[in-house]
Amino acid sequence: MITRPTSLATIALGALSTAMLSAPALAQDVGGEEAVVDMDETVFAGDYLVVGAGVAISPSYQGSDDYVFNVLPVVQGSLGGVDISPRAAGVKLDFVQDPEDGMGLDLGIAGRLRSDRARQITDDVVEQYGELDRAIEVGPTVGVNFPAVLNPYDSVSISTDVMWDINGAHGGMVVAPSVSYFTPLSRSIVASLSLSAEWADGEYHDYYFRVSDAAYTGLAPAPLPEFEPQGGGFTNAGANLLLGIDLDGDIANGGLGLIVVGGYSRVLGDAADTPFTSIRGTKDQFFGAVGIGYTF
Of 14, 2, 5, 3, the residue nearest 53 (C-alpha):
14
* Residue 277 belongs to some domain of the structure: yes
Domain ranges, residue 93: 7-295
pLDDT in tens, 138-148: 999 999 999 99
* Residue 35 belongs to some domain of the structure: yes
The percent of residues in the chain predicted with pLDDT above 70, rounded, is 85
Q: What is the CATH number of the domain that holds 96?
A: 2.40.160.40
* Residue 1 belongs to some domain of the structure: no
Tell me how many domains the chain contains: 1
Say if pTM beats, i.e. exceeds, 0.75.
yes
* Residue 89 belongs to some domain of the structure: yes
Write the DSSP symbol of residue 40: G
d(CA 167, CA 176): 19
d(CA 206, CA 274): 10
- The H-assigned helical ranges of 195-262 are 202-209
Q: Are 127 and 119 in contact (CB under 8 A)?
A: no
Residues whose CB is less than 8 angstroms from the CB of residue 180 and which lie 6 or more positions away in sequence, other chains included: 19, 156, 157, 192, 193, 194, 195
pLDDT at 295 (0 to 100): 82
Q: How many CA atoms lie within 13 A of 152 on its CB side?
A: 11
* Residue 2 belongs to some domain of the structure: no
pLDDT in tens, 207-219: 999 999 999 999 8
